[in-house]
Structure 1
Amino acid sequence: MASVVFPAIGTGNLGFPKDLVARIMLTEVQKYKPTNLREVTVIVHPSDKESVECFTSVFRQGIQGPITKGAHRHVMPKMNISSKSAQTSEVIGKVSSPSLGVHTMQLGQVTLEVSSGDITKEKTDAIVNSSNQTFSLKAGVSKAILDAAGVQVVQECSQIGQGGAKPAGVADAMVDAVVDFVKKKKPVHVKFVKCLIFQTNMVADFHQSMVRRSGEKVEEDKGLLTKIKDTVHHLLWGESSESSKNEEFVMVGEEVEPVVFQLCGETPKDLSEGRDMVNSLILREHVTIPIHDPAIAHFTREDVETLNAMQRELTVSVRLEKKGQDSVITLEGLTRDVQIADSHIRDMIRKVERNEIRRSEAFLISSIVSWQYQENGHSPKTFDMLTNYELEQAFRKRQSTVRIKINNDEYEANLARNEATRRGIRIELNRVDLQASAAAQSPLPSHWKDMKGQAVVLVKLTAGSKEYAEVEKEFRRTNLNSKIIEIERVQNSALWKNYMIKKEELEDKNKHKNNEKRLFHGTGPDKTDQINNHGFNRSFAGMHGAMYGNGSYFAVDPHYSAQGYSAPDAKGHKRMYLVRVLVGDFTQGKRGLPVPPARSSNRADLYNSVTDNTRNPTMFVIFNDVQAYPEYLITFQ
């Protein structure tokens, strides 16, 4: 038991002397030697003024400084009886990495460690993991834990979710929970908390979250009630070398005196008119304004903290509802303050819109140009998407220099000399034109026919050939019984080379090669020439629905493309592409997305695509045209 609450025992119907009760209770608390008990609270009924005075007199002995009196309700504070003073100046330690892939941080007496490994092999008192609503999830880490735990644990779980959340959000939530636990609960027995990450690429998200919280005070910022608690701790247990010597014992008043209008009039009608006038004045000074804007859905953690600060500084209530395109902020309060808050929030919305436009432009430029830096003869490294955008914008505007960051240090990039400098350190810069370098990349597929210098060639496959049978198998994998008229291989050398460059880039960025899927795209007879020559164009997004983002859509099931989007020609012939699509690392899509969402706290680090259902996708959406290659055109009926 960590806390206990007492009333002023026996001072009511039993009629015990109130000053005696106060002295006895204080004496017994002082004599008690706690093991786990952390807080003792004494509540004095606000109507019992004599008891309030007696307890005040007894509890104030030894207090230096004045007593601040509140209103009629007096609440005796919680008494922190920990042997260690709450008035510590400990801070959350810096993040250290004692070995590769292992990050630790000290939070008071608790050590937080994040590393990758097999959680079922850990020696610990408890394992915490997400599951589904019935605690029966048999996938990923949950399956491994249940298999290792055995039948008994599985049965217990059945008697009692996979979330699909973003790794960065999970990392922030878990690290924040540990920090808040240490700050608020002041743990006695817990000494070590370890987050074991099976997917090694997620360790970076946890590391960034730990760095964000490092340097904070372990002790919470002291509000009024906390100061009361520390004061009574001093009264009960004496002065500590770590505690403040200027604490005040404060009696807290929780009642707020209302404003009362007393109306006098000659007739009831006069009183009614007076009351209506007062109500009208009150309503005139109180207003509710909803602000609807899709950009609100992109508000960051910092934006939300700004809203909280605005709510504290102004006489206004701010309610934020993130609902995609229908996101809304509702302001309520005094007219003047609501108008000020409204102006500030609209400035925030415009800033978010500018940032989203910038991210969208940066995303497109990243497929055309890649800026790289090379340190001390090491292999070239590619800049993040936003830095790449800033460098390219400066290059196109013929700026001689621009400020950028490399490894979180600020450098001045000289585009004329292709170098970045900082305090005598020089780093070489290089601009790679991806489109120009495409021709020098990997050769065309060996089974393609000689294109004889042509940009695009359609090759009709022979029925019964191995290649024909492979495409037909994909077409009929969900029992699509339509008659195939012909299958053509689309040979477009420029599109193919750009696609292969992007594929290599994703393999390097995502640290795996499971980035490609073969999907289907139905279209009308008037669109095939455009697709054969130029590929898929995301600017057509929305023509047939854009529920999951403003990109190009591809279906897992050929039935979906055949029935919904393959428009017939005059002969009744329909057309569908079997497409190579670089879905890469994907997440849940939503209406109005101009680019994929960020997959970490670094907003320049985006997912590669989105889907309708992360656990069982039926379609994928890409926002970069080079991420899809129309490999085969199937004509059917």
Structure 2
Amino acid sequence: MPSSNVDVHEMKIGPVTFQVAFGDITKEEADVIVNSTSKAFNLKAGVSRAILECAGQNVEMACSHLAEKGNSDYIVTEGGLLRCKNIVHVIGGSDVKQSIFFVLQECEKRKYSSVCLPAIGTGNAQKDPEEVANAMIDAIEDSIQNGMLQSVKKVKVVIFLPHLLDVFCDSMKKREASLASLQPSLRSKLTSFMKSPSPFPQKQNPLVLKKKTESASFQVCGESGKCIKNVVSWIQDLITKELCPYTYEDECIKDFNEKEYQKLNELQENLNIAICLDYKRALIEVFGLGKDLTQARNAIEEMIKGMRLAKEQKSQAELISEFIEWQYCKNSTFQSFDKITNLQLETAWKAKKRKTVVKINHQSYTVDLTTHTATDAKGHSLPVQRLMKSEVKTPEHWDDMKQQDFCVVELQPGHAEYNTVASKFNQTCSHFCIEKIERIQNPDLWNCYQTRKKTMDTKNGHKNNEKQLFHGTDADSVPHVNRNGFNRSYAGKNAVAYGKGTYFAVDACYSANDIYSRPDSHGRKHMYYVRVLTGNYTRGNHSLIVPPPKSPENPTDLYDTVTDCVRNPHLFVVFYDYQAYPEYLITFTN
């Protein structure tokens, strides 16, 4: 029978303590508190009203902001003034069992151990209290059966209406007897094939998937124990051979959320496959047969590819917005484009495109980058402008630009500037012959680089963020780098071992390799001596498209670059535009 005291009725469901109590949920303390609300996430009645009022205005504003982003089954906000880390807002009128799945998924993703929730849907949604109680217990049972609950140890339902307490307690009592016989199967589910070890590897922290994988039982009869053993071994070998696992490792897996969960669940529902996901290792495994496995693999890789592109675009948009701001004029006032559109305009402008199509207040406009006007389908035009957020003085030793926006200046052998660059090159490349050294004078690129440096110096609390490194390239890439620097279209051109970025070497001999500085038809090779903002760095890996977080607890605080060896770096990888300036171009031969 469920144990109880004056205030709390509880029972064990596998490793989880399930509690029901009469009280005020706003006074509870847990890692997560659940708010049962409306489809618009703005219910101002009953328990939901009490939660929002006690959590504070910031939570209510965040809830409203997240709700505007589009259709969602639930949203997550900070805990505000409540005694919790996060509030999960679910729709009271939705499927209660599915809502509990969402809540438990969020708890597991954050490694939370406790969750407190109201009797979801028994208020404004007028759901049957007994069905709600059963759905909650079903969700916990299924989550244990699927191997989801690694962190969650306590689920507490706080009842606001006294008459509902008896309903929930009755459901607990009815379930207690069936759970007693169910617990062994919950623990053993998916761990045995024919009462022997499973070909499926066990995971410490698998993804929760709605589809259950049912066991298949075989009865083998034979003349002797040896014959039976051989048959069982043959069947197991056949299953293992046919169930070819597909494994994919990518840092983006750590960013999976509701959208990705839904996609994986759809794959399992539509295909004969089983999926296992390890967040800690950022690894996903799929088990299945033939075409189903191939179809799942293609869908997962396409999904992760989209995530990588979106993540890269968001990072680039954030960075570009530090230096460049595109604006449109409406009602005699210039207004800034959003960061993604700002990136789109800047990318088109740098590529010297004449026109690009953007959205202004959900309406399409064609922006003419030569006349700086945006025109809609009806012919209405708005002025557009490009602003540099800060202007940096160009180096005093640069030659007169003569009103040019870019120039290349050949240095004279024997001069101090030439000798400094040549000396650094010759430290490891003395067997090569320098043909010429040129200074790249690009004020726009220099301004963005210096602005980025100032931001990094402030963020890291010191000015030791810059190194002078080498980068080998081919003759065809020189005009692009001189004009645009080492931007995203250039990233990953010659190497990806430590991440898909641009690689810079500590020693010139590394960049002198023909793989990187490929000779032209006349035997000339090209290498840049580059100012690089290495900042704070860590060891990279092939899956990175942006630097990894410094701490899992703060996923937005990223390293500045990555390297091959933190203690003794030989190379650095940069992922962002404007984090490296191609100061000198060395042309040399064997």
Q: TM-score, normalised by structure 2?
A: 0.49
Q: TM-score, normalised by structure 1?
A: 0.46
Q: Which structure exhibits the higher relative contact order, with contacts defined as CA atoms closer than 8 Å and separated by 6 or more residues?
A: 1
Larger Rg: 1
